Amino acid sequence: MMSTETVFESGDQPCIRLEPLKSTHLPGKSTPTGGSCAVFTDSSPKATANGLHDIEDRILRITGYYGYNPGYSSHRREDGSESHAETPGSETSMESQSFHTCANTALKVLGGLLMVLCVSSSWVGTTQVVKLTFQSFSCPFFISWFSSNWNILIFPIYYSGHVVTTREKQTPIQKFRECSKLFGEDGMTLKLFVKRTAPFSILWTLTNYLYLLALKKLTATDVSALYCCHKAFVFLLSWIVLKDRFMGVRIVAAIMAITGIVMMAYADGFHGDSFVGVALAVGSASTSALYKVLFKMFLGSANLGEVAHFLSTMGFFNLIFISCVPLILYFTRVEHWGSLSSLPWGYMCGLAGLWLVFNILVHVGVVLTYPILISIGTLLSVPGNAAVDLLKHEVIFSVVRLAATCIICLGFLLMLLPEEWDSVTLRFLATIADKKSEDHGEELTDSSTHTRSRSRANGTVSIPLA
């Protein structure tokens, strides 16, 4: 047998030296020297110093047998005990790894379902608390301004989570400066603060204000259904402005959303509060879509910390620069709220808290789970509000409004289809067709075998027609 300790000697041709266990010479024959040489050894095994079988040890070393450890024979170890190539530890590790994979998948699914439930519940709660607040305090812009100020708390909440979940601790100033790179390499300056924050803060305020105005005219179900049209507006703006991929199914979804809007406005004959409420809800969906498209255009690569920083910055901008608008509306008697002690602070703080939770879940949920689950949670607010309106407020829905709501929700679901949905669907259908053909072929084979065996039993042979 050959030894793996052979080396190439300088100046000579490659030579494989075979270490003989017992050298034998034939009479009249001399051992060749130079060039390639080979020496035959005795076939009987010889134990090495550590008590191992040298022949088998060399075979395993040369062939590279899987799991081979030099110095350990498959028959005997040093202590003379039996050894095995397969260890039970490998099977245990594979089982534990598959168990951890299944557990992680189950946790992610449960977390996604919990996220959907939380998003839907927070949005339904926000809408219903707004309706309750309007019963004693009908100042939508003041409510919107007050709720937007709570966005200042988003970055402190994010920093608290950062301190709990990471080992490398940073001071609040260090983390704030790190997340300020969203505004540029030099951090946030006054000019960049106004330039970057002003348009988004204005769109944010308009979205909330128009949504609250629509809730004064329509039911919570109608407003939440019309707000779902923002998904179609996002697609249209992204297709035009961002040059996103054209998808025919999303064009159909956009047409369905517009159809639902028209049917909702037609439900009361294009006049009165209903038509105005539909226009306000569609305006809120439009400004929300414009906000999201601009956010994707300028801040699309932002991480979770930068998004939290940006939302808190908008809260500061709202507190500093937009506080003059409620004062103007107060002195012009457009929104007169009386003394501060007479305000329904319980409803307003509850509304602001629910709105804050919804904003945090929407932005954090995209990182922790699938973004499609956040969209489904927003869509589920429509049947949630419908259940509350039906059971608590005893709202009677007309057939036209129900049809319009269903059409809008169906269009929203079509918007959630991925870009490669058509190719994936075709591959899935092809797989089903192949499986059916294989099953049909197996049935034909089984029936043919059964027919032939029965014919042989009767003394005849018949071949069934295919």
Query: Does pLDDT of 43 surpass 60?
Result: no
Span of 223-232, 265-274, 393-402 with lowest mean pLDDT = 265-274
Query: Does pLDDT of 332 surpass 70?
Result: yes
Calculate the alpha carbon distances from 410 to 222, 223, 249, 266, 326 in Å: 15, 16, 12, 19, 38
Per residue in 193-224, pLDDT (tens digit) is 888 899 999 999 999 999 999 999 999 999 99
Phi, psi for 125 (deg, rounded to 5)? -60, -40
pLDDT average, residue stretch 123-148: 94
Nearest to 231 by CA among 165, 185, 286: 286
pLDDT average, residue stretch 180-191: 78
Query: Does pLDDT of 154 surpass 90?
Result: yes
Please compute Rg for the chain using Cα positions: 38
- The residue count for the chain: 466
Q: How many Å from the N-terminal Cα to the C-terminal Cα in the chain? A: 61
pLDDT band at 228 (very low <50, low <70, confident <90, very high): very high
Domain ranges within the chain, ordered by starting residue = 1-76, 111-419, 431-466
pLDDT band at 56 (very low <50, low <70, confident <90, very high): low
Span of 21-30, 267-276, 437-446 with lowest mean pLDDT = 21-30
Query: Does pLDDT of 81 surpass 50?
Result: no
pLDDT band at 296 (very low <50, low <70, confident <90, very high): confident
**250's tokens:** 């999303």
Query: Does pLDDT of 454 surpass 80?
Result: no
Query: Does pLDDT of 189 surpass 90?
Result: no
SS3 47: strand
Q: Quickly tell me which residue has 């956010």 as its tokens.
A: 295
SS3 316: helix
pLDDT band at 384 (very low <50, low <70, confident <90, very high): very high
In percent, how much of the chain has pLDDT > 90?
34
Query: Does pLDDT of 321 surpass 70?
Result: yes
* Distance, CA of 233 to CA of 253 (rounded, Å): 10
pLDDT average, residue stretch 408-420: 86
Contact 183, 196 (CB under 8 A): yes
CA angle (72 as vertex; 68, 78 as ends), nearest 5: 160
pLDDT band at 314 (very low <50, low <70, confident <90, very high): very high
Query: Does pLDDT of 164 surpass 80?
Result: yes
* Distance, CA of 436 to CA of 438 (rounded, Å): 5
* Distance, CA of 253 to CA of 410 (rounded, Å): 8
Q: Which letter, b or e, does each residue of 233-252 get, where b requires 16 or more Cβ atoms within 10 Å of its Cβ?
A: bbbbbbbeeeebeebeebee
pTM: 0.71
Q: Looking at residue 347, what is its pLDDT?
A: 93
Contact 341, 175 (CB under 8 A): no
pLDDT band at 94 (very low <50, low <70, confident <90, very high): confident
Query: HSE (CB half, 13 Å, CA atoms) of 346?
Result: 2
